[in-house]
Amino acid sequence: MSFRSFMSFRTLSLALAVAVALAACSDSSDTPAADNSAAAAPADTASMPIENPFFTASELPLHYPRFDLIRDEHYLPAFEKGMQDQLTEIADITGQSAEPNFANTIVPLELSGQLLSRVATVFFSMSSANTNDQIQVIETEISPKLSAHSDSILLNAALFTRVKAVYDQRTALGLDGESLRLLEKNYRDFIRAGALLNAEQQEQLKAMNTELAELDTKFSQNVLNGVNAAAIVVDSREELAGMSDAEIQGATDAAAERNLPGKYVIPLLNTSGQPSLSVLENRALRQRIMETSLARGSSGGEFDNTIIVSRTALLRAQRAQILGYDNHAAYVLEDQTARTPTAVDQRLSAMITPAIRNARKEVADLQAMIQSEGVDFQLAAWDWAYYAEKVRAQRYAFDETQLRPYFEANNVLQKGVFFAANQIYGISFTERFDLPVYNPDVRVFDVTEADGSQLGIFLLDPYARSNKNGGAWMNDYVPQSVLLETSPVVANHLNIPKPPAGEPTLMTFDEVTTMFHEFGHALHGLFSQVNYPTLAGTNVPRDFVEYPSQVNEMWATW
């Protein structure tokens, strides 16, 4: 998956959605939640501490974020000032007496909100990759404010009048293709935000957007807190039969972190299938892991998301209808390459018959393997991964665990991911240690062209943490833009289990493929060559975002 740029006001609503994943907050930090009551008031610029690192662009190479200076207390003041500054910039656009044109309306709109973009980019990246209690509190407070701020711009009648005036004369402006796309996207974003609705409908829409932002934030926090709370506690080493010594040591260390001496803890990933299911011999433990994994968010308790999901679905449906769409799917897909729910249904329907046929064949193979061992039980979900490995071993003399020593993480990165990129595109990577990072495990690389010129900066955050969102994603800290005179600073985030101290990081083949996949997103950001930040890097239709990544993951085997 890919984080999208927060560079313009149009991406603020996406920033809130990404906070669901992108999608991540934690209860693991010892940092106490701050009292933000004072910061919640409109910011007094004169009283702002001058040391807030967001108030000016970073002076580090390529405006790389000042992780060494950024503190949690900097976020709210920067958000407040960033929103104020952007509203002032919007007022300057609408207050002009000159007739609207591309240069005096669309370009300054594109330039607006740079402080807000700086703080939002870092904040939502940290809320997904390195959260704590205070960040969760800030996220809860700021998300509805950002939604209201976005609405205040997209539902600004005077601003929309100017944008529409430029849009209506677009064919006579002689714009280049990129500028025309920016203009059309601006106009469409206003329409999809409700600019053509009446005042009553717009007020309804604002209330919905605010509530959806609050629900999104709560959902994402529940996901991460829930996965931490659902970690599987095991009483004896014997129950872990099938795991490697390193994996058992990892379970021991995870128990120690939770102050559970003599126990073993198997953390859960955010997927329904868990890696340990393919190796654990203890069927009862496999069942407990699978059922716990599937029950997250819907089994009651503090982190249950069922009411949140139901309410979110209802509000999305109501919002779509107010905007003139049959349903939320139609609203979302209009702006994607698939375009319509019908197109999606046709593609999925074509897959159903062969998928069922393949699944039934696999079930028969796995059930036969179970019976060949002299046991008599019906294949269940928690048996699938375990017996699939047995079938592969029998049929192909293949044991995936034997591959892992060949997939040491740095070897995969340097001699796999980077090597392929060098051979295909001629770019090179040099690790640097002088730039600050938000976690000691984060690595930083200069990316240079064949002629030695710098293309960008790449960050890699490889390991799973209890305060990090599950899954894998890419985001940019600085998007490429000729208008802003910026070069890309992009990051990949993975969730590889960190080995015990002194042990090498040995990856599964799935993790290898994921590293190549996410680097495809990074290449998408690094190779961006556009004028306008709104169109930079992965700011393309959401389903097209996955094209470069899926192409790049082919090099894992080729």
Structure tokens at 191: 């329409």
Q: Is 518 a catalytic residue?
A: yes
Q: Is the dihedral of CA 250, 251, 253, 254 positive or negative?
A: positive
Q: How far apart are CA 107 and CA 104, in angstroms?
A: 6
- Do residues 67 and 436 lie in contact, with contact meaning Cβ atoms separated by under 8 Å? yes
Who's near 287: CB < 8 A, 6+ residues apart? Answer: 380, 382
Q: What 3-state DSSP class applies to 254? A: helix
Spell out the SS3 assignment of 29-72: CCCCCCCCCCCCCCCCHHHCCCCCCCCCCCCCHHHCCCCCCCCH
d(CA 415, CA 418): 6
Residue matched to tokens 């930083």: 444
Q: Strand 473-478 and strand 232-234: pairing?
A: unpaired
Whole-angstrom Cα distance, residue 19 to residue 25?
9
Among 89, 389, 518, 553, the active-site one is 518
Residue 233 backbone dihedrals phi, psi, to 5 degrees = -95, 125
Give, in order, the Cα–Cα distances in Å from 275 to each of 168, 280, 292, 386, 412.
Answer: 55, 9, 14, 10, 20
Please state whether beta strands 454-463 and 489-496 pair in parallel, antiparallel, or not at all (unpaired): parallel
Separation CA 90–CA 105 (nearest Å): 9
String of DSSP letters for 165-192 = HHHHTGGGTT--HHHHHHHHHHHHHHHH
Torsion of CA 431, 433, 436, 438, to 10 degrees: 70
Q: How far is the CA of 503 from the CAs of 77, 252, 408, 450, 499, in angstroms?
A: 43, 14, 10, 35, 6
Q: Would you name the residues annotated as active-site residues?
A: 518
